[in-house]
Structure 1
Amino acid sequence: MTAEYSIRDLAAEFGVTARTLRFYEQKGLLNPGRRGASRVYAEADRARLVVILRGKRVGFSLDEIREMLDLEAITAQTPASINAVLSRFSARIEALHDQREDIDAAIEELNAGRTWLEDRLANREPSEEIKHRARAFEALATARMNVWTGASPEPDSHETQA
C-alpha cells in the first residue's frame, strides 16, 4: 500500500502553507494526483518537497531545484550540460562554505560580546581579550551598517586613522 498525503498533511508536516504547495504545483515541482477536487500527494511528492525545501534553504532558485528534481532529463543530457549543472552545484557549495565561515566568525564575536555583557552585569572588569573582541565586533558592525545604509565611515573610525 502506497502512502498518500493530503495538502493539509504535508503543509503541517513541513511547516508550509497550502498556498505554498499549490505554488510549487503551479511551477511544475509537485504533481499530486486528484481525488475529486482534492489533491492527493504520493510518497514521491513528499520526497520532492523535501528536496525543494532543502534547496530553497540553501539558496537554490526554483529553476535550479527543478533541474535537480528532473533526474531523467539530467541523465539524458549531454556531458556539457551535466558539467554546467555540476558547476552550479560546486559554486553553491563554495558559497555555503563561505557563509558558514562568516556565521562561525559572527557566533564567536557574539559570544565574546555576551561574555563582556555578563561581566558588566556582574560588575567585573572584562579581560583585555574581551575588550579587544568587543571593539572588533563594534567596528565590524559599524562597517556593515555603513555598507547597508550607504553612510560614509565616521571621521574617527579606524579606516581614516593612518
Structure 2
Amino acid sequence: MKSEQLMETIQKYLELTWSPEQIPNTVLKGVISFKTIYRWIYDGTILLGDLSCLRQKGKRRKPRETRGRLNIRTSIHQRPKEVNKRHTLGHWELDMVVSSHGKSKDCLATFAERQTRFYVTIKIENRSDSEMYRAISELYELFPKDTFKTYTV
C-alpha cells in the first residue's frame, strides 16, 4: 500500500531522525513493516539516496556481493540430453565452495562426474577465475583426455 500520504508521513518521521523500526511500531501500527521502509529507502522511493538522517547513515547495510563468472560455463538448459540420463562418461559439473568461517575465505573447487558420481575437490587460494582454471588444469592431469566431454558450471 504505497500512498502519497503514507510516504510523506514516513519521510517526515525519518527526517526527524526516527528509525525505520520506530515508525511502524508507534505512528503506523500495523500499516507497514520496518523492512518495507528499509526497502523503500534503499531502492530510492523515499529519502532519495540521502541516508544522513538515519542513525547508522546506511552503514550497517552490507553491499550486495557480486559473484565471479567463468567464461567456460554452459547453462544446464543447453547441455545435451544424454548428460541428464547419465549414460555416458565424461560429463562434469563444476562448482566452488567458499568457507564462511571467520575472516577465512578458503575455497574448494569441486568437480563431479555425472555418470559415475565421482567427486574431486581441489583447494584453491581464492574465488578468482585464474584459480579455477588452475584447478581445472590440475584435474586434466589426473585423468586421460577422453574423460572430459562437457562441463556444467
Q: What interval of TM-score do these two structures reach, taking the shorter chain for normalisation?
A: under 0.3
Q: Give the alignment's TM-score, normalised by structure 1.
A: 0.27
Give the number of the structure whose residues are more often helix, by fraction.
1
RCO higher in 1 or 2 (8 Å CA, sep ≥ 6)?
2
